[in-house]
Structure 1
Amino acid sequence: MHEVAHIGVVVKDIDKSVNFYTTVLDCQREESYQDDRIRLEFIKSGQQTIELIQYKQDPAGSRGFGFVDHIAFLVQDIDREIARLQQFNVPLLFDQPKLTGNKRIMFFTGPDGERLEFVQKV
């Protein structure tokens, strides 16, 4: 089995997305890359890396298939994290966390409408 290297998410405004992931989700900037067609920001969340991608000429890229459904973040206290999201006026997709097996989950959206999830093991 191969280890996941990173998850790539196409965004409209990479600066806005970097601010969201680092400020709201407490991720850390890891590295950047830029050329005449693309700008990449690698954001670290625990042991995982999220690659934020902004295309300069074709903003959405030309892909219709293979999009990422959501990115899930493990949290210790989901209620505290939800309160933090609410402080930043982040849209929540449920009124309250849902219990799925031995996990409490909450879905919310990032600045480009990407679906994100908090997961707390109980």
Structure 2
Amino acid sequence: MPFDHLHHVAIICSDYPRARHFYTQVLGLPIITETYRAERDSWKLDLRLGNGQLELFSFPEAPPRPSYPEACGLRHLAFAVADLESGIAELVAHGVPCEAVRVDALTGKRFTFFSDPDGLPLELYERT
């Protein structure tokens, strides 16, 4: 199957206003569309992420996702950045703690992990 690129990643959040603020104001992802779906009592926020999208959903009483210890399924979402230190500084300025910087043993690239408001593991991965 000839895939062209990753189209989107979908995330369900527990607190829509808090998650919306995190992804748009802290991470700076631009809004494509925002839709309230009354029949589901759910918000859908489409955010631009490079050539793809991040879709943020809210659903009443969605069960929590187990993250630690790591569970089967999606492990984390990684964002490529040109300057790891600048990315970490921006997150810390917004009160988002980051783990210690590590080096990928296979690629030699530096990275760090942080979490979204629901504890979803996110990663900054240095491109250069």
TM-score, normalised on structure 1? 0.84
Distance 1:19 1:106 in 2: 21
| Aligned match of 2:108 | 102
Query: What is residue 69 of structure 1 aligned with on the other side?
Result: 75
Could you list the runs of 4 or more consecutive aligned residues of structure 1 that deviate by over 4 angstroms after TM superposition?
none
Match of 2:92 among 67, 86, 89: 86
Q: Deviations over 1:71-105 (max 9, x none)?
A: 1111111001101111111122x22x111123111
TM-score scaled to structure 2, two decimals?
0.80
What's 1:40 paired with? 44
Q: Which residue of 2 aligns with 1:60?
A: 63
8 Å CA contact 1:9, 1:68 repeated in 2: no
Q: Which runs of 5+ in 1 are unaligned?
A: none
Give aligned pairs, total.
116
- Cα separation, 2, equivalents of 1:6 and 1:21: 15
Aligned Cα root-mean-square deviation (Å): 1.9
Contact 1:102–1:121 under 8 Å retained in 2:
no
Query: Hey, what's the Cα distance between the residues in 2 that align with 1:47 and 1:18?
Result: 20
Cα shift readout 1:27-83 (whole Å, capped 9, x = no counterpart): 101112222212211111222211111113x4238xxx9753211111111001101
Match for residue 20 of structure 2?
A: 18
Q: Distance in 2 between matches of 1:66 and 1:28?
A: 30
